[in-house]
Copies of this chain bind each other. A is one copy, B any other.
Amino acid sequence: MGRKVIRSESTTKAQILDAAIRLFGNRSFDAVSIRDITSEAKANLGAVNYHFSSKLNLIREVLRTLATPINEARLTSLNAYETLLNGGRPDLETLIRILVEPFVRLSKDRSGPGIYYPRLMMLARALPGDLIGSYLSEQHDAMARQFVKAIGRALPNLDEEEIFWRYDFTIGSTLNIVGDAYRSYRLKRLSAGQCDTDDADRIIDELVAFVSAGMRGAAPARRKKPKMARATAAKNGERRTATRVHAKQAAE
C-alpha cells in the first residue's frame, strides 16, 4: 500500500449502485436480477460480485446509501435547534418538522435518488430477516432516541413510554404517506383527487399538524394487564437454501 490509490473510485461501482437504487426502487429486490443491474449500469455481470461480493450486500449498501443522509440531516437540524434553544423548552411543532421534513423532501425530489427510498424502506421493513443490518438499526435508533428525548422536553407531562409509542405512530404516518405517491397514488384515488400527494410542503404541513396534535393528546388510561399464559411460541421449522434475499433469519 505504497501510496493512496485514486483511480476515480472505480466509476463502475458507483454506476452499479445508481442502477441498483433505480431498479430496486422501481420493482423490488427479488424482481431485479444482477443481470438487470449490470445491464442497466453497462457493466459486466461479474462486476456486482466483484465490487459488492453478493447481491444481499449490494442491497444493504443501497439502503445505507439512502438512509444515512436522511438520518444525518435530521440529527444536524436537531442539534442546531437545540444549541439555538440553549436549554430552553423546545417547540413541539418545530421538532416534528425537523424529524419529518428531510424524509419527505428527499423522497419528493425527482432529481435525486431519494424518490426510491420510501419503497425500499417499506420493502426492507416488510421482508423478514435482518435486511437492513444492525449498523443501520443502531444508527436509526440513536437518532430516534434523541428525538424522543427532545420531544419529552417539549411535553414534560408525558412519560417516556408514551412518547415512544407516539414516535412510532409518527414514523408510520410518514412512511405511509411518503410511500404512497410516485406510482400508486392510493390516497389521491381514495379522496377523488382532493389530496395532492405530490406536494411535499403540503404533506409536511399536514404531518406536523396531525402528529403534533396527537402528541399533545392525553395519555390513555392504563388498564390492569391480565397477563395471560404465554402461548407456545415457535412452531416454524422452515428452511431455505435458495439465495433469495430473505433466507437469513438465522438466530431470531
Contacts and interface: CB of A to CB of B under 8 A. Distances in A.
Contacts of A30: 28, 30-31, 244-246
Contact of A172 (B172, B195, B201): B172
A38 interface: no
Contact of A128 (B128, B168, B183, B225): B183
B209 A223 contact: no
Interface size class of A (residues with CB under 8 A): 35 or more
Contact of A125 (B122, B173, B222): B122
Q: Copies of this chain, how many?
A: 2
Contacts of A206: 162, 165-166, 169, 220
A244 B31 contact: yes
Contacts of A187: 164-165, 168
Given A176-B175, A214-B210, A217-B212, A141 B27 contact: no
Contacts of A225: 199, 202
A20 interface: no
SS of A interface (majority): helix
Nearest to A26: B236
Nearest to A247: B31
B217 A213 contact: yes
A27 B238 contact: yes
A41 interface: no
Interface in A206-235: 206-223, 225, 231
Interface of A: 23, 26-28, 30-31, 33, 36, 110-111, 119, 122-123, 125-128, 137, 141, 144-145, 160-162, 164-177, 179-180, 183, 186-187, 189-191, 194-195, 199, 201-202, 205-223, 225, 231, 236, 238, 240, 242, 244-247, 252
10 contacts: A26-B128, A31-B128, A161-B191, A162-B206, A168-B177, A168-B180, A172-B175, A175-B176, A183-B252, A214-B217
